[in-house]
Amino acid sequence: MATMTLFHSPLSPFVRKVMVVLHETGQLERVTLKSVNVSPVSGDDQLNQSNPIGKLPALRLDDGTVLHDSRVICEYLDHQHVGSPLLPREGSARWRRLTLASQADAILDAAVSSRYESFLRPEDKRWDGWLDAQSQKIRRSLADLEQQHLAELASVFDLAAIGVACALSYLDLRQPEFGWREQQPGLAAWYAEVSQRPSMVATAPAV
């Protein structure tokens, strides 16, 4: 029975992270999806209740409490199921995986910022230097994943790996010309495998 409400936008990669976690942990039936359409210049009144910054995704619990930010929501959901945790609960392994998850979110932040700058901002006001800086952040991060973290990513499909997979998918969706696979063939092979997981297939954006 659904006891929570997830404020949901199907093309948001941060929402997708939460949806993948719900599938991976068998909690999908506990959540009702509430579709909202927001942008940096337009919000949603219902989303803003108990979430004044209008952050998406947001998860309203049965007692009315609202959690926002995908990292917070994913951590909460990870504590609500009986299977293996999606992040180590303690020790140095926890901090390593949290840092890797943060790196995935930073890729998404840069990619989403680029999308806003290149798609929503009027063409005569776009800042090429900003777009170049976001692109370089993404390229440095992907190179680091390729060189330093492939074995970690392949070891377990946890919150860090989910974040990286959703980031790569979002690059394919919004910047198909980015060409990351040619520069990171190991990462591409890993993504080709994990993108076939049922949780990834079920949450793939429909465009």
CA pair distance 140, 148, nearest whole angstrom: 12
Question: 105 and 179 share a domain?
Answer: yes
**104-132 mean pLDDT:** 77
Question: 71 and 96 share a domain?
Answer: no
pLDDT band at 43 (very low <50, low <70, confident <90, very high): low
How many domains is the chain partitioned into structurally? 2
Give residue 130's pLDDT.
Answer: 74
Distances (CA, A) of 136 to 104, 144, 160: 14, 12, 21
pTM of the model: 0.92
179-199 pLDDT per residue, tens: 999 999 999 999 999 999 999
Question: 161 and 59 share a domain?
Answer: no
Question: 66 and 95 share a domain?
Answer: no
Question: 129 and 196 share a domain?
Answer: yes
Give residue 66's pLDDT.
Answer: 93
pLDDT band at 40 (very low <50, low <70, confident <90, very high): low
Q: Are strands 4-8 and 66-68 parallel, antiparallel or unpaired?
A: unpaired
Question: 72 and 13 share a domain?
Answer: yes
Give residue 56's pLDDT.
Answer: 85
The pair of three-digit structure tokens given for residue 201, joined into one six-digit string: 């297939």
Question: 22 and 74 share a domain?
Answer: yes
Contact 38, 56 (CB under 8 A): yes
Instruction: Give the mean pLDDT of the chain.
Output: 90
Read off the CATH number of the domain in which 175 is found.
1.20.1050.10
19 is a domain residue: yes
Give residue 131's pLDDT.
Answer: 80
Question: 147 and 189 share a domain?
Answer: yes
Whether the per-residue pLDDT at 75 is higher than 70: the answer is: yes
Question: 119 and 188 share a domain?
Answer: yes
- Name the domain boundary from 54, 78, 102: 78
- Name the domain boundary from 20, 55, 78: 78
CA pair distance 150, 112, nearest whole angstrom: 24
83 is a domain residue: no
- Name the domain boundary from 18, 50, 78: 78
Question: 16 and 62 share a domain?
Answer: yes
b/e per residue, 151-188, with b = 16+ CB within 10 A? ebbeeebbbbbbbbbbbbbbbeebbeebebbeebeebe
Give residue 121's pLDDT.
Answer: 63
41 is a domain residue: yes
Question: 127 and 60 share a domain?
Answer: no
Give residue 128's pLDDT.
Answer: 77
pLDDT band at 51 (very low <50, low <70, confident <90, very high): confident
Domain that holds residue 155: 91-201
Give bridge partners of residue 35 from the DSSP assignment: 8
Contact 110, 142 (CB under 8 A): no
86 is a domain residue: no
46 is a domain residue: yes
Question: 74 and 168 share a domain?
Answer: no
User: What is the 3 state secondary structure string of the chain?
Assistant: CCCEEEEECCCCHHHHHHHHHHHHCCCHHHEEEEECCCECCECCHHHHCCCCCCCCCEEECCCCCEEECHHHHHHHHHCCCCCCCCCCCCHHHHHHHHHHHHHHHHHHHHHHHHHHHHHHCCHHHCCHHHHHHHHHHHHHHHHHHHHHCHHHHHHCCCHHHHHHHHHHHHHHHHCHHHCHHHHCHHHHHHHHHHCCCHHHHHHCCCC
132-169 pLDDT per residue, tens: 888 999 999 999 999 999 999 999 999 999 999 999 99
16 is a domain residue: yes
